[in-house]
A and B are shown apart, each in its own frame.
Chain A
């Protein structure tokens, strides 16, 4: 029987992630190659019933409607092309504020919506 194991520190900066062959080794590298800011995401919006759009019109955007992302200084919202708030993003998406502050913008498309019995909107977003 031979031996296997981790031969060195696995996280020197400046190197790309790679899986090390053999048991007891894992992944090494300085960067994973993944940047959450440049990842597309799918989201179920919150508080659609209390949003500007629903409060004004009693309706929700239909599928394929274009959306954007807005941080109003308090919370992250999905907005329509006129900047009207459609619904809030769950706080798990608060990281988008730092992404947008770094120059990443997002374009969204409504993938599902229903006005009754509870206003509901789902959307897909991609970074631009």
Chain B
């Protein structure tokens, strides 16, 4: 190895403060965020790393101290953040729906490179988390021999901005939660693949949240599906960053194994916010052979496949009913790209009182829709009799039923046992929906 060159992974991006609001049963949490999530993941995986970061001056000393505690070999302050505190307020830590990130004072935020720019020449393996900074400086600042991977989840609207890295690009990593994915790949992954192919990276990783991820090897056009291990999510903030950084760190073992190891790290990171717990659990998991990890499997349901299955929404979806939990469930399912069929919206809300003819017509239309759908998601608020009948009919038809009972009003043998999933927790029901639909896909490929 050349003098001055290190095997450490260099993580480039912004440091922020994450503040999780304490509500909905979640305790508030103050953590160093941004690329600190990737740093925790690498530390927990036992990987040597350094960071090159943009952060506000007031945060530099505290961040340095914190990152030193989690094994950071070198802290390189490459740019200041001015006009904003770089504080993100987080509403939904489980990504049941939109996470409700609030980047305080974001419109006033300006990133300014330090002069002279500190040297990044010593690092040959680099993972960059895009942010509101100009990427061109990196092309000049990094060693010509550096191999660079980009996680473009945030603040990058145009993939051609990566063109200056074409000869040394290893991985492009994107998430279905990002606006860039929504623009390029929401309907069809082909558009995204075409744009990425033009950059000639080795691989594209598409992270698909609870549905797992897909690794597209751009060298041989193969695709590897990496399933998600769906457990109880404690905090999903930064989970994607952990996946990306650990995958890049493991790339010398081949991208397939690297992606599985990244996925393992992400799973562990989602289940705790205590770093020592994360490290202990990840070390245990990484000791398992790749064969074992693959055999244990998990849930694979790609973003695009989800639209192939119709979910019948059983619930009092009436305009005159207070139903915030039902609305949240629909928002959540739609956020995850599920195709929700809402009988009351589609077939119309009956006038009160309704004529017998109108009742019959609506019954038959709803019944037909129930038959046509693949899965039922039920929200039996107020023990709505129509919803309970629909649950029973669906069970008798052999359909999988996921029942979300947020007010715990239907703890009844037939409901709890007859349904594939029964819970008062939307996170659990969402995981259950992913599982039952993924199972349908396996049974009827």
Footprint of B on A, CB under 8 Å?
6, 8-14, 17, 19, 24-27, 29-32, 34-37, 71, 73-75, 91-92, 94-95, 97-99, 101-102
Q: Which one of B28, B274, B292, B295 contacts A29 once the chains associate, using CB atoms below 8 Å?
A: B274
B289, closest chain A residue (CB): A101
Q: List 9 A-B contacts (CB under 8 A).
A: A11-B31, A12-B66, A13-B279, A26-B20, A30-B274, A34-B277, A73-B295, A75-B296, A94-B229
A29 to B296, CA, bound (A): 32
- Is B32 interfacial (CB 8 A cutoff)? yes
Count of chain B residues near A, Cβ 8 A: 33
Chain B stretch 273-306: residues in CB contact (< 8 A) with chain A: 273-277, 279-281, 284-285, 287-288, 292, 295-298
A9 in contact with B277 (CB, 8 Å):
no
Task: Please give the distance in Å from B22's CB to the nearest CB on chain A.
Answer: 6
Chain B contact residues, CB within 8 Å of chain A: 19-20, 22, 27-32, 62, 66, 69-70, 229, 231, 272-277, 279-281, 284-285, 287-288, 292, 295-298
Contacts of A6 in B (CB 8 A): 19, 28, 30
- Tell which of A12, A17, A24, A91 touches B69, judged by Cβ atoms closer than 8 Å: A12
Shortest beta-carbon distance, A76 to chain B, in Å? 8
Instruction: Give A2 to B36 CA distance when docked, in angstroms.
Output: 31
- The A interface, classified by DSSP as helix, strand, loop or mixed, is loop
Measured between alpha carbons, how far is A101 from B298 in the docked complex, in Å? 19
Contact A13 B28 (CB under 8 A): no
Complex Cα gap A53–B342 (Å): 45
Inter-chain CA distance A71–B70, complex, in Å, is: 34
Taking A9-B62, A17-B274 as given, write out 18 further A-B residue pairs in contact, using a Cβ cutoff of 8 Å, ordered by the A residue number: A8-B30, A10-B31, A11-B273, A11-B275, A13-B69, A13-B70, A13-B279, A26-B27, A26-B29, A26-B30, A27-B27, A27-B29, A31-B274, A31-B277, A32-B274, A91-B298, A94-B229, A97-B292
Inter-subunit contact A92/B231 (CB<8 Å): yes
- B296 partner residues in chain A, CB cutoff 8 A: 75, 91, 94, 97
User: How many Å lie between the Cα of A24 and that of B21 in the bound state?
Assistant: 8
